[in-house]
Each structure stands twice: as C-alpha cells, then as structure tokens.
Structure 1
C-alpha cells in the first residue's frame, strides 16, 4: 500500500485511483421530492460516490428522514429510475461512481436478474445477521460484474470483519449505534474499530457512516483514521430545502474532508 502526495492511502480496488478522502452521499431513488437534475450538484461539489438508496418495505436501520423518503418511491419502477440516474450522471465530466444501497428484501428485482445491475459500480446490502437473501443479491450483482461493498454494523463482530475482508469496493463502518440520522459528534471509539478492520486485513477504503452531518465531523472521521465518510440524512434534509442548501452542505462536507 502506497501513499499519495495528499497523504491519502492508495488501496486496491475500483476506488484506488481517487487520491483524496472519499465523500459518499445519499440520493433517494425514486423520491419525487429530489429530482434527478439535483445530481448535477453532487458532481459539481466533489462527491466521489453516489449512494443510491433503493426503497424497502422494512428499512429497519434508517431513521425518519430516509424512511419517509423511501415510502414516497415507487419500488416497482426501480430499474427505470436507475436508468434516469445513470443518464443524468453520464452528462457530468466528473460524475460520482454509482453505488446501489439496498436492503435484503426477498422481492428485490436484482436477486435473480443480472441485467438489473447494468451501469452500477457497486452494491451495498443492508441485512440482519446471516440473512441468506443478502448473499443471493450480492452473488447476482457479482455475476453481472458489479462488486459488493460491505456494511459493518455495531457492535463489531467477527461476521463484520469477514464481510469487510470480502469487500471489493468500500466498507461502510457504522459510526454510531442506532438508526441513521445526524448526531452531535463522531464517536471516538470508531478509531479502535477502524484499527481492528485494518489489522484483520481489510484493504479497501473504510468510510464512516451514520450520524456524520457537517464538515467538522467529516474532518473528525478522517482524524480517527477513516478514508472518508458516507452522509445520508443530512444530505436529504438539504436536498429537500433546495439546490442552494444542498450545494452548501456538500461543499461543507468536501471542505471538511480536504482540510
């Protein structure tokens, strides 16, 4: 593993060509309150990975912001909605890489249909421990050439370490216990968890998610050893407030990471 001039580790995998701290931000697939044209703002403000959130009938780890957004989406139109997102990203010179975040739902269209995964860079499946549907979704995506990212929940267990070692894109390490939503600060114990993942042999980028809501917290995550952050609820709140609020939030996050 080498280190770039910016001090950001170069690690193996799809994201190894990005030498700055990684900013991954949530986009609600199919939510009519956040039109695809807003994706231009994500690209312009330096988002590296677009975490495209697919609606679920049981978003058990998401707080009220994301859950309400998912409830507005028409799940039956997921592939058509993905096409619209990918078409919008294709217009950008520096488009973020598209990752689909989904739950391990038994009726997930990408469970048995490899064509569903066309155009995506990765999939991140949120599931309860030992849920076989998650493995089926990941296997179907892999058959289409789409690598899996890993969600590592708290408390950090051996199963989480195993999942992180298998990740081929990035690891989302839960930064705070509970459901998604802004927190007052970043849990300093994340530093030890990141160290455990590295000691276990994880080579792909490790990003902290759950609770990160501003540039100062993004900077704190970097100081704890994270390769970047994943921001969901706060980005959603900003998007609901309009383009200027979204641009301000993303610029703040990007600045906090790069400081």
Structure 2
C-alpha cells in the first residue's frame, strides 16, 4: 500500500514515542457547526485519530450516551451527505487522521462505490462497521481496497481462535473491544486484555487500539501498557451533551489529560 492511501494515515498515527489517543464523537451533535469546532478542538489538543460516528436509527453496539447523541444529530438534520460536508469543513483547517464509525445500512444506502470514493477524497482513513460480520466482509472489501480505505476489524473477548482470521490482511488498526455489551464508561474491565492483544499481535503487525469503557487517564495508562492505543467515546460525548459555553475548553482539557497519560514514561514500551 502506497503512502497516499487513506488507511496509512491511521497506521502512521501510532508512534513509538507515545501511545495513540483516539477520540470519538457523533457528527452533528448538537449542530453541524459545533461538530466541526469540536473535532478541531480535539485535534488541537493532541488527539491522534478522531473517530466520527455517522448517526444511525438503530445503533446496536452503542449505549444510551451515544444513542442520545444520534438523536440530537438527527434533530439537527444530519445526513450522510452532511457528514461528508462536515469532514470537508474540517479538512479546510486540519489533516488530523479520521475514521468513521458507521453502520452497514448507511453505507449500503449511500452506495458502496460512492461512499468509499468520498472517503478517499477526504482522506478518511478507515471504517469501523460494528454490524458487519467478518464472514460478510467480501461484500464491502473490494471497494475498501480499491480506494485504500481500511475496514477496521473488531476483535471481541469472545473472538478466541477466530482472531487470526478476523485480523488477516488488516489495515489501519485493529479495534480490540475491552468488554462485552454496548459502549459506555466502565469502572472495571475484567477481560484479560494482555492475552487478547498478544494474540492479535501474533497474527498481524497492524497496531491495536482498545476501546469500550475507558474514560479516565488512569484507565488509559493501564490499558496502554498492553495496547498501542486507546479509544474513548462516551466520556467525550458526555462533555458534548452538556452543550455549555466552555465545551471546547473542556474537550481540550480532557484530551490533553488523556494524551499526557498515554505519553508517560511508563507507556513508552510494552
């Protein structure tokens, strides 16, 4: 894969000097204009990759916090076309690596060819599609490969012996799910993350980021001892949900604290 492929922007965001911080928000929550500013604020604060959720009516992998964000985005009349316009507005000011969290029906309805072509044009590095089983990826994979956009595989605590198959030919990064269930902050993560990440690393050289449940700098630092990066969603969306005058300041403060935790000397090597 050549360096101008969008997927490489994700892989290149994983550096040896610190662990990678991936922040999630829902496009259009609470408005188009505020979303653009939120993404730019996170990027300015050092967020390495920003995962943008495309609102969906039945987000089966998402908990109540992100479901509520989808409803606010729908109230702001955010469509898939509007999401691409939002990314175009971000791209006028920032080249921060981006990925989409999107449910398959949105991509299907938009048209696979058209969707991936627009991703490539705007340098959206990859898609996380929670309701796309590995066994059915063949329907989408040719378009992802054509445009150099990663189909980011999800590895769950129950993946077990299927891990080598799931991450085979992975690009961008691998999304390791810390806990079963839907998204949302968790005070405890009981999965043997070290074992799961080790099994992923045995099967692929692509970086591994852990998500679901992480919300404090202390949690992020612990998880980063075994992973290449961490993904945080619900905690960021909660800040946005407050819709205060100082939301951008709070987002920057939070991202800075998370990035500092991941850049600590403790996490510079596994």
TM-score by length of 1: 0.84
* 1:131–1:64 CA distance, 2 compared to 1 (3 A): farther
Equivalent in the alignment of 1:16: 12
CA contact (8 A) 2:22 2:47 kept: yes
- Name the CA distance, whole Å, in 2 between partners of 1:206 and 1:189: 15
Correspondences of 1:173-184 after superposition (within 5 Å): 173-184=176-187
SS in 2 for 1:166: coil
Equivalent in the alignment of 2:248: 243
Are 1:253 and 2:246 an aligned pair?
A: no
Equivalent in the alignment of 1:3: none
User: Which structure 1 residue ranges, 5 or more long, are not aligned?
Assistant: 1-11
Deviations 1:114-136 (Å, cap 9, x if unpaired)? 4332311111211254563x543
User: Which structure 2 residue ranges, 5 or more long, are not aligned?
Assistant: 1-6, 265-270
Aligned CA RMSD, in angstroms, stands at: 2.4
Equivalent in the alignment of 2:60: 60
Equivalent in the alignment of 1:206: 208
Are 1:41 and 2:41 an aligned pair?
A: yes
TM-score by length of 2: 0.81
Stretch moving more, 40-49 or 185-194: 185-194
- Name the CA distance, whole Å, in 2 between partners of 1:236 and 1:17: 22
Which structure has greater helix proportion? 2
* 1:244–1:39 CA distance, 2 compared to 1 (3 A): same
- Name the CA distance, whole Å, in 2 between partners of 1:170 and 1:63: 23
Greater RCO, CA 8 A, separation 6+: 2
Number of equivalences: 243
Are 1:32 and 2:30 an aligned pair?
A: yes
Stretch moving more, 156-165 or 146-155: 156-165
SS in 2 for 1:32: coil
Correspondences of 1:90-239 after superposition (within 5 Å): 90-92=92-94, 95-105=95-105, 107-113=108-114, 114-117=116-119, 118-119=121-122, 120-127=124-131, 129=133, 132=136, 134-187=137-190, 189-199=192-202, 201-223=203-225, 225-239=226-240
CA contact (8 A) 1:29 1:82 kept: no
Following TM superposition, by how much is the alpha carbon of 1:18 offset from its aligned partner in structure 2, in angstroms? 4.2
